[in-house]
């Protein structure tokens, strides 16, 4: 399961700060030029972010954009946006859906464009100058958002339309937009007293600034550590590919003849899985677990405590006892109690399976004359060895069959088989880094769908993990479809001097996962920007991504793309059989570490006191209360839990909630055929094209014919 970034707030006035400032990249909107704007000035035309984008398909002119362009571009874009909003609020005509609600959704196109380029670059290719821009612009964007969200004249027009909604001839998508805009205004504080509104503004500005600082600290702490090995004996147990990658990292650092391992996942996890040197495994694992922790140079503990306290205060200002109740109101889960019900159903099952797994691993430890108990730096090492012994198979044997280019082509092939769409590489389009590739996506009749960027390798300027985002969302402007510009970003294994990028099975599934998000954005067919693509509840947004992972392992699909990078031979049938038999191996561990992070998230966001807590003590108490085994840390400790500082606050449970949906939905394909076109078209029509235009359960039932069943998920994870 790959951790992704969340959807934006749907309120048009809130699109900006949420993405730019918190690194939340799911669905930033952008377009080459605002639909309504004053005449260009010479200064504006000199700034490539403000001048018309004459690139093919209106993609960002990356080669012309410099860090110094962003601050003046934000200032000008905010000015134009406020002019557009002022025109709506001051319209002398009576409020209507078109001149108030739809007009507000259409406003701010230029600001969306600037914000999307900035936030995408800041996450994938940042530098000191961009980080400084973020620190400067953060409070200003927060204030800009609040200025619109708390505009009394504007809200009065929206409320007038809302109050008359039953008598208006509105379509389904119109009604949904009206509901979303009105409720988001209310949730932003439009019904508060003047004094409360001022406090809300101050909270929002501080939260935005703290979010930037938190993310900067995680990135700095991750980049600031390296394990340098100069004794070849300390490389025992590691795969030659891993050793070659570490040697390349050392050369890049000016340490010729040595080996460098970092906290970036393509370096960290293979080391923990393979290195025989237990002390070095302990050292790098401890560095990972304590990055940005208490007493470190980039200590995030106080920042997170302050964020949590401010969220309590904000929720209570709006009439909610906790942040979780505020956040979950618009989710599929609706309440913290419903989230707890799902997590509590899975937690004891996961613990029981993890305990059995730990027993197997400790048996091998004893055989190695290593006294138990198992520690966190031991689990992956012994899990790999037990798996190899149990199934006579090592996952590294798969890597030669998973070259990045072939895996990507395989994922595109699946999309073609399901939806009839094609991906054609375009080498004539601008990119922000030489490693980035670009594809034009078309329907089977050749009509243009959108542009798809991919960026798959770790760099010092890129944050960890994998995500999908947009440079421009799909919507309908003046009756014409605005084609989306989508990007998938990852941190996959790099090529070495003598081999292409060869992926792990987890990386393969991550690539398919992110393409699922990309398809949700590319195939969107919505009128309004703030409802299109991934603008859906957090616990629904992972359905299109997680269901795609199922095809990555399917024998029919492996037969197409899994071929040895040197010989071209297909993945042996016995390998595929072993993969299938081992699918539930170590799922107790995987489920437990994920659920622990989800429960920790819920504990943080069901606080009711506005006084900041001691982060370390709070987390310790939370983990002790849930009974987390010592050898299994939560997937994210609080001090580097970027998801819950960003848009997944009180929402990290969403991955397993959505997995209930995806496991159940995939059963429909298994029943009819993995590439049954009618089933695929139903999924496209009722899920991928709809964005947030209807209640997600309504959409799901329309596709599946009933509500989801949890049984397929329990079977998949071996938790029956």
Q: Please list the active-site residues.
A: 514
Q: What is the full DSSP assignment across 218-277?
A: HHHHHHT--EEE--GGGGTT--HHHHHHHHHHHHHTT-TTSEEE-SSHHHHHHHHHH---
What are the CA-CA distances from residue 542 to residues 79, 539, 545 (Å)?
35, 7, 5
Q: Which two tokens stand for residue 417?
A: 């088989």
Q: State the Rg of the chain over Cα.
A: 25
- Cβ-contact 224, 186 below 8 angstroms: no
**Encoded tokens for 114:** 């600037």
Whole-number Å distance between alpha carbons of 501 and 468: 20
Element (H, E) at 465: none
Whether residue 85 contacts residue 107, with contact meaning beta carbons closer than 8 Å, is answered with: yes
- Residue in this structure with the two tokens 């009711």, named with its chain if needed: 608
CA distance 51 to 63: 14
Is the Cα torsion angle 605, 608, 611, 613 positive or negative in sign?
negative
Q: For every residue of 526-564, which 3-state class applies, written as one string?
A: CCCHHHCCCCCCHHHHCHHHHHHHHHHHCHHHHHHHCEC
Q: Are 20 and 1 in contact (CB under 8 A)?
A: no
Altogether, the residues listed in the chain come to a count of: 720
The answer for residues whose C-beta is within 8 angstroms of residue 254's C-beta and 6 or more apart is: none
CA distance 614 to 300: 12
- Residues contacting 590, CB < 8 A, separation 6+: 1, 717
Burial of 8 (0-12, 13-18, 19+ CB in 10 A): buried
Q: By the 8 A CB rule, do 611 and 313 touch?
A: no
Structure tokens at 99: 């001149």
Tokens of 195: 């004094």
Under a CB-based contact definition with an 8 Å cutoff, are residues 512 and 548 in contact? yes
- One DSSP character per residue, 333-346 reads S-SHHHHHHHHHHH
22 close to 119: Cβ distance less than 8 angstroms:
no
């Amino acid at each position: 399961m790959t951790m992704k970034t969340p959807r934006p707030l749907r309120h048009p006035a809130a699109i900006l700060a949420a993405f730019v400032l918190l690194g939340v990249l799911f669905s930033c909107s952008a377009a080459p030029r605002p639909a309504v704007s004053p005449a260009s000035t010479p200064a504006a035309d000199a700034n490539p972010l403000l001048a018309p984008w004459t690139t093919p398909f209106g993609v960002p002119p990356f080669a012309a954009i410099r860090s110094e362009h962003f601050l003046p571009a934000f200032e000008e874009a905010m000015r134009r946006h406020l002019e557009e909003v002022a025109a709506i609020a001051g319209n002398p005509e009576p409020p209507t859906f078109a001149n108030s609600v739809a007009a507000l959704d259409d406003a701010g196109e230029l600001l969306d464009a600037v914000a999307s380029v900035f936030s995408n670059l800041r996450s994938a290719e940042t530098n000191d100058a961009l980080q400084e821009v973020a620190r400067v612009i953060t409070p200003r964007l927060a204030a800009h958002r609040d200025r619109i969200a708390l505009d009394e004249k504007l809200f009065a027009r929206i409320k007038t339309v809302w109050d008359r909604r039953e008598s208006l001839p509105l379509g389904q998508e119109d009604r949904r937009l009206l509901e979303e805009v009105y409720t988001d205004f209310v949730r932003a504080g439009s019904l508060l007293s003047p004094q409360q509104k001022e406090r809300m503004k101050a909270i929002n500005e501080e939260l935005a600034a703290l979010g930037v600082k938190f993310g900067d600290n995680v990135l700095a702490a991750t980049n600031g550590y390296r394990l340098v090995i100069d004794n070849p004996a300390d490389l025992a147990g590691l795969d030659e590919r891993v050793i070659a990658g570490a040697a390349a990292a050392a050369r890049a650092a000016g340490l010729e003849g040595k080996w460098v391992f970092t906290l970036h996942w393509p370096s960290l996890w293979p080391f923990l899985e393979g290195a025989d040197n237990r002390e070095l495994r302990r050292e790098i694992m401890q560095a990972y677990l304590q990055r940005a922790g208490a007493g470190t140079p980039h200590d995030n503990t106080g920042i997170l405590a302050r964020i949590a306290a401010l969220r309590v205060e904000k929720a209570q200002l709006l009439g909610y006892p906790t942040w979780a109740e505020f956040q979950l109101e618009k989710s599929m889960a609706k309440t913290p109690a419903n989230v707890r019900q799902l997590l509590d159903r899975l937690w004891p099952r996961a613990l029981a399976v993890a305990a059995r797994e730990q027993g197997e691993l400790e048996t091998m430890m004893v055989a190695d004359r290593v006294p138990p108990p198992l520690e966190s730096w031991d689990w992956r090492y012994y899990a790999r060895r037990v798996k190899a012994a149990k199934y006579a198979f090592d996952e590294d044997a798969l890597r030669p069959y998973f070259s990045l280019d072939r895996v990507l082509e395989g994922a595109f092939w699946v999309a073609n088989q399901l939806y009839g769409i094609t991906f054609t590489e375009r080498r004539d389009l601008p990119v922000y880094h030489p490693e980035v590739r670009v594809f034009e996506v078309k329907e089977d009749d050749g009509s243009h769908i959108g542009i798809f960027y991919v960026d798959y390798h770790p760099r010092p300027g890129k944050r960890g993990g994998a995500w999908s985002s947009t440079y421009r969302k799909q919507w309908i402007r003046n009756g014409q479809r605005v084609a989306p510009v989508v990007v998938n970003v990852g941190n996959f294994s790099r090529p070495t001097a003598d081999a292409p990028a060869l992926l792990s099975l987890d990386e393969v599934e991550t690539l398919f996962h992110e393409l699922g998000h990309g398809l949700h954005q590319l195939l969107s067919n919505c009128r309004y920007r703030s409802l299109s693509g991934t603008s859906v509840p957090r616990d629904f947004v992972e359905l299109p991504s997680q269901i795609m992972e199922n095809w990555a392992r399917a024998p029919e699909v492996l037969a197409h793309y899994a071929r040895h990078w040197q010989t071209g031979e297909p993945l042996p049938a016995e390998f595929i059989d072993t993969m299938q038999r081992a699918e539930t191996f170590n799922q107790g561990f995987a489920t437990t570490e994920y659920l622990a992070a989800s429960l920790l998230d819920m504990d943080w966001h069901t606080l009711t006191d506005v006084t900041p807590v001691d982060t370390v003590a709070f987390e310790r108490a939370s983990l002790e209360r849930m009974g987390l085994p010592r050898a299994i840390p939560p997937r994210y400790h609080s001090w580097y839990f970027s998801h819950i500082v960003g848009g997944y606050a009180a929402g990290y449970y969403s991955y397993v909630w959505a997995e209930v949906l995806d496991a159940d939905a995939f059963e429909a394909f298994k029943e009819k055929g993995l590439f049954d076109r009618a089933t695929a078209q139903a999924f496209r029509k009722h899920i991928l094209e709809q964005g947030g235009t209807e209640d997600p359960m309504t959409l799901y039932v329309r596709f599946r014919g009933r509500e989801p069943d949890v049984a397929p998920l329990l079977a998949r994870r071996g938790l029956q």
